[in-house]
């Protein structure tokens, strides 16, 4: 939603570059997975259950997105 200063671009403002879009996508996925994993873990602890299927699924998803921050740096 960044608006450049007037006169910086002539005509239409260019869209976000594919590299920046991919970085935003990976970052959002990483944060969302860990957020839901924490919710699932908190739910299991509050109800006294060992683990739920949703918590197991979120743990596996967390393993999948672990490399996300490293991919976003370069």
Distance of CA 27 to the CA centre of its chain: 4
Dist. CA 50–CA 60, nearest whole Å = 16
pLDDT at residue 49, as a whole number: 84
* pTM score of the predicted model: 0.74
Q: Mean pLDDT over all residues of the chain?
A: 86
Q: Which two tokens stand for residue 14?
A: 């260019």
Task: Domain ranges for the chain, please list them.
Answer: 18-73
The enclosing H or E element of 20 equals helix 18-47
What confidence tens digit (pLDDT) does each residue in 29-74 have?
A: 999 999 999 999 999 989 988 888 899 999 999 999 888 888 777 6
pLDDT band at 1 (very low <50, low <70, confident <90, very high): low
Task: Please return the burial class of 62, using the count of CB atoms within 10 Å of its CB with bins 0-12, 13-18 and 19+.
Answer: middle
Q: What angle do CA 1, 36, 2 make, to 5 degrees?
A: 5
Distance of CA 11 to the CA centre of its chain: 33
Tell which wins on pLDDT, 4 or 20.
20
């Amino acid at each position: 939603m960044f608006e450049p200063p007037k006169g910086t671009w002539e005509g239409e403002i260019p869209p976000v570059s594919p590299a920046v879009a991919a970085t935003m996508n990976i970052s959002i996925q990483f944060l969302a997975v860990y957020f839901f994993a924490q919710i699932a873990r908190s739910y299991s602890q509050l109800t006294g259950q060992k683990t739920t299927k949703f918590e197991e699924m979120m743990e596996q998803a967390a393993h999948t997105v672990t490399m996300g921050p490293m991919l976003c740096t370069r």
